[in-house]
Amino acid sequence: MQGAFIAGGALGCLSMPTDSLLLAGSGLLILAGGLLQALLFYRCPRCNRVLNTRMRKPAFCPSCGQKLDL
């Protein structure tokens, strides 16, 4: 997930000096895929709320307190 953000951002940055639409488009697709993956799959199994992806993997759900084995 975070790898997709990094890869998408890197491809987007690489496309700037070359003005390559293919690299820019690829970077945006990878970045959007990582974001979509985070929103769809990084959820609490008990309450189904989206977990915070900006911090380390939590041991417990901040909403319901369910122990998480990620």
**pTM, rounded to two decimals:** 0.59
Output the six-digit token pair for 20. 């390559």
User: What is the rounded distance in angstroms from the CA atom of residue 32 to the CA atom of residue 35?
Assistant: 5
Reported residue count of the chain is: 70
CB 36 within 8 A of CB 3: no
DSSP string, 36-48: HHHHHHSB-TTT-
CB 15 within 8 A of CB 4: no
What are the extents of the domains in the chain?
1-70
- pLDDT per residue as tens digits for the range 7-56: 777 777 776 676 778 877 888 888 888 888 888 888 899 999 988 877 78
